[in-house]
Amino acid sequence: MVTVSTTGSLAGRHVLVTGGAKGIGEGIVRGALLRGAQVTCCDIDGPGGRALSEQLRAEHGAQVPLLFAQTDVTDFAQVTAAVAAGVAAFGPVLGLVNNAGRNSYADPVAMTEQEWDDFFDLDLKSTWLMCKAVLPLMRAAGTGSIVQIASVHARMTYPNYFPYAAAKSGLVGLTRNLALDEGRHGIRVNAVSPGYTLTPMLRDYFRREPAAEQQALAVHPLGVFAEPRDIANVVCFLLSDEARFVTGADWLVDGGLTARFAG
Ligand SMILES: NC(=O)c1ccc[n+]([C@@H]2O[C@H](COP(=O)([O-])OP(=O)(O)OC[C@H]3O[C@@H](n4cnc5c(N)ncnc54)[C@H](O)[C@@H]3O)[C@@H](O)[C@H]2O)c1
């Protein structure tokens, strides 16, 4: 439950969030609304996105500044259509959060080229496609903030997780370069790298595997996992003017997990 603000750190700013129908993306949609943003939520899951919109309208009233655009972010025509719909509703997109993504466990010999391409279309290429569609609006405005949701797996990883580790590392590289290239237009570009975050999928997994949950908790210095709002709080800071001197950075939000030497 959030109260929509008209005076928060994102007041009046149009923020577009990909993969916003559930999980971390839903947390970011809620966090941006809480801080006064006008939000375009893009997700491939039409029923899920419409259900969240209805829920937010029930919580905040019909005037909540939220547009849901059913979008496959791997398809540039759908990306440009979603951005155009958002602009028609709320004006230029000045905050962009590239959050849509999924896991990929694979064997490097068994994985097919099609599986590789499908995965990288979502976990890496879609972020460039969104930036390609939104950067002209930000350049014209002379301001903007982009946040990519990467992962601790850009720095350390599991066995057989190489596509995910490669895509998330790629997102951090993309972030650095866009920060260099777009700074002269007043545009900041950062990554946020979450650790274990309690999305519905992770909660289900831990319900089935309580021993895995205890093992993971034991190596977290704070002894807890993140809630989606913990990631959203950092994302919303980076979207806001309070972060005006922060660009080209990758913000770890992992409860100290990667501070531990494994040996
Ligand atoms: N949950 C974690 O512990 C964790 C940790 C580190 C990084 N991440 C990253 O955070 C992001 C969100 O993860 P999550 O756990 O909330 O996932 P999730 O599966 O709960 O949500 C992902 C959302 O993306 C949407 N989506 C999938 N394919 C899409 C497409 N082609 N076009 C548009 N939308 C699409 C899904 O419908 C869903 O609503 C991902 O990039 C993930 O890699 C998650």
Residues whose CB falls within 8 Å of the CB of residue 170, separated by 6 or more in sequence, listed in order: 124
* Residue located via tokens 């501070």: 259
Residue 7's pLDDT is 81
Contact status, residue 152 vs residue 254, Cβ threshold 8 Å: yes
Mutate to test the pocket of ligand 1, among 29, 50, 70, 102 (most ligand atoms within 8 A of CB): 102
Residue 262's pLDDT is 78
Does residue 2 carry a pLDDT above 60? no
Does residue 263 carry a pLDDT above 90? no
174-218 pLDDT tens trace: 999 999 999 999 999 999 999 999 999 899 999 999 999 999 999
Residue 261's pLDDT is 87
What does the pLDDT average to over 41-48? 98
Does residue 150 carry a pLDDT above 60? yes
Rounded Cα gap, residues 189 and 145, in angstroms: 6
Does residue 3 carry a pLDDT above 80? no
Q: How much of the chain exceeds pLDDT 70, in percent?
A: 98
Task: Specify which residues 261 forms β-bridges with.
Answer: none
Q: Taking the domains of the chain in order of start, what are their residue ranges?
A: 14-195+228-251
Residue 94's pLDDT is 98
Q: Check pocket membership of 35 for ligand 1, CB cut-off 6 A.
A: no
65-94 pLDDT tens trace: 999 999 999 999 999 999 999 999 999 999
CA of 65 to the centre of ligand 1 (A): 23
Mutate to test the pocket of ligand 1, among 70, 197, 204, 205 (most ligand atoms within 8 A of CB): 197
Residue 25's pLDDT is 98
| CB-CB neighbours of 261 under 10 Å | 5
Does residue 55 carry a pLDDT above 80? yes
Residue 153's pLDDT is 97
Residue 6's pLDDT is 72
Q: Check pocket membership of 201 for ligand 1, CB cut-off 6 A.
A: yes
What does the pLDDT average to over 151-176? 97
CATH number of the structural domain 14-195+228-251: 3.40.50.720
Closest CA to 251 of 155, 127, 167, 130: 155
228-240 pLDDT tens trace: 999 999 999 999 9
Q: Check pocket membership of 46 for ligand 1, CB cut-off 6 A.
A: no
Instruction: Confirm whether pTM is higher than 0.85.
Output: yes
- If you count DSSP H runs as helices and E runs as strands, how many of each does the chain have, helices first? 9, 7
Residue 131's pLDDT is 99
Which string of DSSP letters, residue by residue, matches 110-135? T--HHHHHHHHIIIIIHHHHHHHHHH
CA of 222 to the centre of ligand 1 (A): 24
Does residue 4 carry a pLDDT above 70? no
